[in-house]
Amino acid sequence: MGIMDVLGPVIVALVFILLVSLFGEPNRRGFNAIFVAGAGAAYLSGGFGVWEFVFLAVVTFCAYRGLNSYNFIGIGWLLHTGWDVMHHLYGNPIVPFVPGSSLGCAICDPLIALWCFAGAPSVYHLFRGGRGRAGGDEAPRTEARRWTPGAEDRR
């Protein structure tokens, strides 16, 4: 195992965080929830039989709850980390022609999980010196107008 086997997954996690930080809230949380759900399906033919489907159901639940909570998204990433380790030890990597891919995923995923547990703040907002709540980097919202029947006729 070389330095790039460790550094590569760290770079992947940082690039993921940088790119997803471009999304404003609530789109950032929604994207993260969808992404962790997809990660849960990555091993469906991974060799653990019915347990692959059980794992997928658990991660899907985390992703669904993650639509409203970064903590559940972080839990989903940590569960995926454990699944990565099991597949690495079992000898069935996530990318069949890259033997260390599951180990790399097990290095990358907890970094994303930590970011999610921190509320997945936009790193750009942090560098600008913002002190708001995590994810509070979007413009203030204006109150939506309530639609009432016939309102178009009153203009």
The per-residue pLDDT for 70 is 97
The per-residue pLDDT for 141 is 46
Question: Closest Cα partner for 113 from 81, 68, 65?
Answer: 81
Percent of the chain residues past pLDDT 70, beyond the cut:
83
**pTM metric for this prediction:** 0.79
Under-70 pLDDT residues of the chain = 129-155
Tokens of 151: 């309102």
The per-residue pLDDT for 152 is 55
The per-residue pLDDT for 11 is 97
The per-residue pLDDT for 146 is 58
The per-residue pLDDT for 137 is 44
